A and B are shown apart, each in its own frame.
Chain A
Amino acid sequence: MTTPLVQMKNISLSFGGVRAVDDVSIDLYPGEVVGLLGHNGAGKSTLIKILSGAYKADSGEIWINGKKTEITSPRDARNNSIETIYQTLALADNLDAASNLFLGRELTTPLGFVNDSRQEAETRKIMARLNPNFKKLKEPVSALSGGQRQSVAIARAVYFKARVLIMDEPTAALGVHETKMVADLITELKKQGLGIFLISHDTREMMELCDRVSVMKNGQVVGTERVEDVTEDDILSMIIMGKNPKAAA
């Protein structure tokens, strides 16, 4: 049996009195897409932010490739090849695409200065692959459309060869065409053996893209199912009722 890329074991985190994540265990295998579903405030973003190093869990363990790993900062996550596309796109609006793509991991010249022209060249290369229509390389990303900004965020994850990709509502702000683009990309990355955590409110999309889905409510995982074992209605009722009908049956 293959070792899981990621295992999160009995993770809990409270904000003041709110138990945002309550004893959650979840895992992810190479070449697999695991969907997280649940109402607003269910704790999905908080859970994946623990994995990406933005928050530190109160209790619980994270195992990467079968080894217990401490992830206490975004840098730790990156060092473990975990890349995140945040729900609120974590881009510096005033900088151009290349500066954002390499933010925190700038390419430098031998003298230690930022190598802007190489960064721009690399950005052109990867953008040509991901989004051939992308031309605004010199402009601050505030001048880009939602879809173009999204491709900058995705390019960042792809360029640095993520092994685990976390996508928090990557298509929420996108049009039909761009949504399709992201879906195609997810399928391609999955073929390359990445593990992907995908968060979305669109159950149909999730049924198509994911191998397994976990439903959360009030910080807890209500149930995890392989998509071929359930119908969209099963998922919907899990989200609404907050319990697993199959388990009850």
Chain B
Amino acid sequence: MSDQTQSTPAPAAKRNLLKQLELDTRLLGMIGAFLVVCLVFNVWTDGRFLTPRNIFNLTIQTVSVAIMATGMVFVIVTRHIDLSVGALLATCTAVMGMMQTRWLPGVLGLEIGSPLIPWITIGLGLITGAVIGAAQGWLIGYRGIPAFIVTLGGLLVWRNVAWYLTDGQTIGPLDDTYILFGGITGTLGWGLSWIAGGIAALAAAAGIYSARRSRVAHDFPVKPLWAEAIVIALTIGAILGFVAVLNAYELPSRVVARDFAAYGCDTAENCNVAYGIPYSVLLLIAVAIVMTVIATRTRLGRYIFATGGNPDAASLSGINTRLLTVKIFAIVGVLCALGGVVASARLGYHTNDIGTLDELRVIAAAVIGGTALSGGLGTIYGAIFGALIMQSLQSGMAMVGVDAPYQNIVVGAVLVFAVWVDIEYRKRTGAK
């Protein structure tokens, strides 16, 4: 408890090593959990789980929920909850589906396939999400209605507004450019993927290095140089490894053979075409970076966490917590629309049941990722890992042939278990 204990050297050398690396133990825990899930299913499926193909699919299936989960972190950190994300996603995709197939061609007379259509559609979809989110945030922040109630109402309202907009029909097929955001048709390909990976690796290394420089400049304690080097090496390794796996997944040779010239080959033989990084994953990475910067580097983020930690302290410090609530829910609305773009693009259609139960997946992802329902604690990367772990469990069980009801039983149990582990972890580290 006292100030002195900090400088006491850890007895075990192994502990000391981890300590010097200053790795985030929570992040390590999540990576560990994820690896365990992967390995177990890989053994169970005789090696079919950890194939480039399955990892690719897993990735694109995770994106939509992961995007929304980053926003749910802000909501839960401020001690609110949003039960309406799945329904809001449906309203956004209904608007976007109708927009590109009916309204824009019909009313504005844009031809189907016009290059303007997808972008106008997505823009209006994002605005729809922002406006609905902000309206819910206003009811919560300024009118004092609990978020649970507002968004429970929203769950019913927006699910059925979507139904009303589309007359309950499936809307599609969607625009060719639009569906690039779904993942399978829209990927960077081999070369660009490596370039993107290289840039990301350099940026990560530069970021870690410049953070160190800034600490040195202020005479703050820094970790040893070798520890910094290991962290950089691990980070670069992870990024490039991920790119390598996605690049190892190749288009089926039949597909390539049909049109080998289009892929830059002279013959159909030995013409291997890699998928590479899906656009939807790039979108998720962009969202993750922006949300992390907001959370850790901006006043908005600081106020979100301060309000979650102590709402009274925040408002006594002159923070407008009501407006903050509106902003948070508007952000979630935008992310629901983005998640909706990815989800509907992946299906190729807007369907009636799109996003059903997503609210629970999104909340579970944030919570498994270490966001505390008591407020004030949570990370963006945690929520994304949470989404990935949930999706791995679900797809893994589907691969080994577990029936859907059993899948849900397992996922539900895992959610409760994860939160229990997290609470124990906090007790331990808090008591340190």
Contacts and interface: CB of A to CB of B under 8 A. Distances in A.
Partners in one complex: yes
A74 B3 contact: no
Interface string B389-416: 0000000000000000000000000000
Contacts, number: 89
Contacts of B313: 89-92, 100, 103
Interface of B: 1, 3, 6, 214-215, 217-218, 220, 293, 297-299, 301-303, 305-310, 312-319, 376-377, 430
B298 A117 contact: no
A103 B314 contact: yes
Nearest to B301: A114
Nearest to B215: A117
B297 to A, nearest CB: 4
B309 A94 contact: yes
Nearest to A111: B297
B294 to A, nearest CB: 10
A114 B218 contact: no
B3 A106 contact: no
Interface string A90-124: 11111100011001111010001110111011000
A147 B297 CA distance: 29
B218 A91 contact: no
Given A92-B314, A99-B302, A104 B319 contact: yes
Given A103-B313, A112-B298, A95 B220 contact: no
Interface residues on A, range: 35 or more
A90 B310 contact: yes
A89 B220 CA distance: 28
13 contacts: A73-B318, A78-B318, A86-B316, A90-B310, A92-B307, A94-B305, A103-B302, A104-B318, A106-B299, A108-B299, A113-B293, A117-B215, A120-B220
A19 interface: no
A90 B316 contact: yes
Contacts of A78: 318
Contacts of B306: 92, 95, 99, 103
Interface string A52-84: 101000000000000000000111001000001
A133 interface: yes
B197 to A, nearest CB: 26
Nearest 8 A/B pairs, CB to CB: A94-B309, A92-B309, A104-B317, A94-B376, A75-B318, A90-B313, A92-B306, A104-B318
A135 B7 CA distance: 11
Interface in A135-192: 135-136, 140, 142-143, 145
A142 B1 CA distance: 12
B377 A94 contact: yes
A10 B303 CA distance: 35
A135 B3 contact: yes
Nearest to A49: B316
A98 B144 CA distance: 31
A52 B220 CA distance: 35
Residue of B6, B218, B306, B430 ringed by the most chain A CB atoms within 10 A = B306
Given A90-B310, A121-B218, A143-B430, 14 more contacts: A73-B318, A90-B312, A91-B313, A92-B313, A93-B309, A93-B310, A103-B317, A103-B319, A106-B302, A113-B297, A114-B298, A117-B215, A133-B3, A145-B1
A221 B306 CA distance: 36
Contacts of A90: 310, 312-313, 316-317
B318 A74 contact: yes
Given A90-B312, A113-B298, A120-B220, A95 B318 contact: no
